[in-house]
Amino acid sequence: MRVNQSTAGVVQQVQRQLTLISYGRAVAFGLATAVVASFVSNLLLPLAFTSQPDYLGLVAGTLGSLAGIAVGIFSRRRDGVVTRTRASLWLEERFPSMQFALATLTEFDANRTREISEDARLRLVEAVGSLQVSAPLRRSAIRQLRVPVLLAVPLLIFSEQLQILAMRLVYRNSAVSEIRFSVGADSVAANSRALTNWRVRVVPPAYSALEARNLDDAGQVAALVGSHIDVSGADSELPTAIVRSTVDSVASATLAVARNGASWRAGLSMPASPAEVRFALSSANRQLLLEPRADSIPVVHLHFPVRDSVLRESKGVVALDATANDDLGLAIVNFELIVTSGEGERFTAKTVVFGAQRLSGEHDRKWQASFILDTMKLLAGDIVHMRAVARDRHPDAAHEPGASETRTFRIARLGEYDSVAVEPAPPPEVQKSLMSQRMLLILTEKLAARRTSITKDVLIAESRKLASDQVKLRKAIGSLVFQRFEGEDSGEHAHSADDGHDHGVTMDQGKLVPTLATGAPMTDGEGGESPIVAINKPLLEAFNAMWDAASSLEIAEPKAAISHMKLALAAIERARGAERIYLRGKPPVVIVDIGKVRLAGKDTGQVNSRAPREAFSPRDAARESRLLAAALLLTRDVEAGRDSLALLRLESIAEAPRLAAALNDALAVVRRGGDVTAVLIRARRLLGTGVRSDSLNGWRGR
C-alpha cells in the first residue's frame, strides 16, 4: 500500500513549487548580477586597456552575462535539489500536528524495500489528514523571491541608464570617449511600418543643366539650392508633414501633402539652409533631411601681369592672362580695369570692361586680352587696377561673380624716385690728396712753361692761386697727420709746440718735425719706429714739401715749386702704399656647460601647472548628449539611431563642419552595417576642444 493519491499529489506540488521558487531566485539574482557586472565592467575595462579595442563593449557584456550565470548557478546549487523528502519535511514544518507522519510515509514510499504493517500505515495516513498548502507556498514564494526580484527588476529597468552613467563616468575620468556597439547586418532589418518605401525625385534648377535624380526610400537629400524635391509614398492614408529648419530659428511650416491616386505626394524646393521634413502617419513617423548645396562662385586667377608695378611713362601694351573654373559652368568671363586719377580728396574713377567672352557652360576657361597704355591718356599718379571676372550661369543677377586678385600699375609722379639711389662714397683722404697734388703739379708745370709768354701780373696771380690751393692741401695733409697721431682732427693752426701738451710732432718754421724722443706712442721699447710713425712719416715729408712748394708759388716761382711738389706727390704715394697691419681680436672663450650638455642641469622638469581643458560649450554639450543618445539608440533601433545621427549631422553642418563630416562617415558605416565605434569616437573627439577633465587628477595622459 502506498501513500494515498491526494497526499502524494500535494507533496509533488510542493516539490515542484519549491523547485520553481529556487529557479526564480537564481534567475533574479543572476539578472541583477549581470546588470551590476556589466556596469562595473564598463567602468573598469577602459582603465585596463591602454588602447581601446573595439570589442570592449562586447567583453563587458560577456563578463556581465557570465557573472550573472555564475551567480544563478551558485544560487540554485545553494538551494539544493528539492526532493520529496525535503518537500515532506517542508510541509511537516508548516503543519507540526502531523508529527513527521508524512515524512515517514514518504520515506517508506521512496524506499520500497522497507515494509511496514498495514496498521501502522493507516495510522500514519490518518495522522497526515488533509493538507492546504497554497497559503504556505505563497508566503514562502514571497519571502524567498522578494529580495532578488526587488533587486533585479529596477536594475533591468534602468540598465540602459546605468550604461550611460558608466560611459559618462569613464569619459569624465579618462577623457576618452568610448561608445562600443556593433551594428550587425541582421539588426538592420527594416521595420515593417508605415511611411516606408517612399520615393524622392530631385529636379535641379534648369540653369545647372544637371539631370533629375530618383532616390528610393532615401532619408536624406543633398541637392542644389532651389532644386524641386518631390516625395511620394504608397500609404493609403495621407501623412502630415512639417518642415523645420535645423539651423535658423524659423517657425516650422506645414507641408501640403496631396493624394495622387492610391498614393500620396508632397513637393517643396530645396531651402538655402538645412531643414528637416517630418512625416507622420498614425503612430509612425519618418524624417527627410534636406541638405542644400550652394552654387559656388567661379574661381578666377589672374596669371599675368604677375605683380604690381610702377611705370615711369604711360606707354606700351599690357597683356592679361587669366583662368576661371566653376562647378556648374561659366557664362561670361571678362577683364575689368579701374582707373583712378587725382590726389588728396579729389579722386575720379572709371571702370572699363573688356575682353569679354560669352560661354556656354564650360567648367574651365583660359582667356587673354591686352590694352594699350598710350591710348588711356594716363597722367602721373594715375593708378590702373586690373582684375579678371567670371560669372556662372546662375540666373539671379545678385549672385556674386568670381573675381581674381587685383594687379595695380601706377604711373610715377614727376620727381619720384622709383629706384634705389646709391650715393657714391667719397675717395679716401689720402687718395683725394694724391689727386689734388697731381693736379696742382700739372697746373704748376703748365704755368712754368707759359712763364715767358704771360705778363708778370698774370704769373703772380696764377702762381698765388696755386699757392693758395697748395696751402689748403697741406692743411688737409696736416689734419690727417694729427688725426693719426692723436686720433683727433686738428690742424697745425690749432696746435703749437708750446701749447702745453705733446702732439708727437713739433712745428719748426712751419714744418712738422716728429718728436721721436718724447713720443711714447710712436716708438716701441727698443727705440725703433712704431707703425704709426712709419705710416705717417711720408705724410710728414709731403706736408713739409708742400710747405716749400707753397712758399715758392707765393713768390711766383713755379719752376722752383715743381721739385717740392714732386717730392710731396712721391711721399703721398709712399704713404698710400705703406704696409697695413691688421690686429686680430681676442679669441672667444667658450666654457662648455657639461651639466647642461648632459641634460643634468638644474632644471627640475617641473613645468607650469596644466590647466584642464575648457568644458564644452552648452551647444557642444547638447551635441554630445545627442551623439551619445543616438549611439545607444543604434544598438536597439538602427533606423532611429541613424535618423538621429543624420539630424545631428545636418544641424552641425554650418557650425561644426568637421563634426558633420565625421557623422557622415558614421552614417555611411551604419548603412553598410559595420562597426561604427571608431567613427563615433572620432566624431565625439571633434566636439569642443576634445579631451575634457574636471581636474588634473583624473588625467591619464591619453
* Cβ proximity to another protein, 414 vs 581, nearer residue: 581
Minimal distance, residue 380 CB to another protein, in Å = 50
DSSP per residue, 275-304: EEEEEEETTEEEEEEEEEE--PPPEEEEEE
Give residues 52-111 in contact with another protein (rule: CB under 8 A): none
Q: Which residues partner with 335 through β-bridges?
A: 354, 388
Rg (CA), the chain: 55
Minimal distance, residue 598 CB to another protein, in Å = 5
* Cβ proximity to another protein, 579 vs 593, nearer residue: 593
The DSSP output letter for 669 is: H
For residues 177 and 51, is the Cβ–Cβ distance under 8 A? no
For position 607 contacting another protein by CB under 8 A, the verdict is no
DSSP per residue, 392-415: ES-S-TTSPPEE---EEEEEPPTT
- Give every CB contact of residue 404 below 8 A, 6+ residues apart in sequence: 300, 301, 302, 322, 387, 388, 389
Instruction: State how far the Cα of 286 lies from the Cα of 47, in Å rounded to an integer.
Output: 40
Assign residue 321 a region: left if phi > 0, alpha if psi is -120 to 50, beta otherwise? beta
* Cβ proximity to another protein, 427 vs 595, nearer residue: 595
Please give the helix or strand (H or E) that residue 335 lies within, else none. Answer: strand 330-343
Minimal distance, residue 587 CB to another protein, in Å = 3
Minimal distance, residue 589 CB to another protein, in Å = 8
Q: Which range in 168-176, 228-236, 461-469, 581-589 contacts another protein by CB under 8 A? A: 581-589
Characterize the bridge pairing of strands 213-216 and 199-203: antiparallel
Minimal distance, residue 605 CB to another protein, in Å = 19
Minimal distance, residue 603 CB to another protein, in Å = 16
Binding letters toward another protein, positions 584-603, x by CB under 8 A: ---xxxxxxxx--xx-----
Minimal distance, residue 593 CB to another protein, in Å = 7
Minimal distance, residue 295 CB to another protein, in Å = 50
# of chain residues touching another protein (CB under 8 A): 10
* Cβ proximity to another protein, 135 vs 600, nearer residue: 600
- Give every CB contact of residue 461 below 8 A, 6+ residues apart in sequence: none
Minimal distance, residue 573 CB to another protein, in Å = 30
Rounded to a whole number of angstroms, the distance between the first and last alpha carbons of the chain is 79
Burial class (CB in 10 A: 0-12, 13-18, 19+), 445: middle
Give residues 276-335 in contact with another protein (rule: CB under 8 A): none
Residue with cell 517657425: 251
Residue with cell 492614408: 237
* Cβ proximity to another protein, 587 vs 701, nearer residue: 587
* Cβ proximity to another protein, 577 vs 585, nearer residue: 585
Instruction: State how far the Cα of 27 lies from the Cα of 697, in Å rounded to an integer.
Output: 40
Minimal distance, residue 580 CB to another protein, in Å = 18
* Cβ proximity to another protein, 588 vs 618, nearer residue: 588
* Cβ proximity to another protein, 577 vs 587, nearer residue: 587
* Cβ proximity to another protein, 594 vs 607, nearer residue: 594
Instruction: State how far the Cα of 59 lies from the Cα of 44, in Å rounded to an integer.
Output: 11
Q: Which residues partner with 231 through β-bridges?
A: 200, 266
* Cβ proximity to another protein, 457 vs 593, nearer residue: 593
Q: What share of the chain is helix, strand, coil (3-state, %, to 5)?
A: 45, 20, 35
* Cβ proximity to another protein, 112 vs 598, nearer residue: 598
Minimal distance, residue 535 CB to another protein, in Å = 24
* Cβ proximity to another protein, 531 vs 601, nearer residue: 601
Q: Which range in 10-18, 369-377, 583-591, 612-620 contacts another protein by CB under 8 A? A: 583-591
Minimal distance, residue 387 CB to another protein, in Å = 43
* Cβ proximity to another protein, 261 vs 585, nearer residue: 585
Binding letters toward another protein, positions 539-578, x by CB under 8 A: ----------------------------------------
Minimal distance, residue 532 CB to another protein, in Å = 24
Q: Which range in 27-35, 178-186, 483-491, 582-590 contacts another protein by CB under 8 A? A: 582-590
For residues 39 and 162, is the Cβ–Cβ distance under 8 A? yes
- If one counts every other C-beta atom within 10 angstroms of the C-beta of residue 224, the result is 18
DSSP per residue, 96-138: GGGTTHHHHHHHHHH-TTS---HHHHHHHHHHH-----HHHHH
Q: Three-state SS for 150?
A: helix
Instruction: State how far the Cα of 253 lies from the Cα of 271, in Å rounded to an integer.
Output: 13
Site for another protein, rule CB under 8 A: 587-594, 597-598
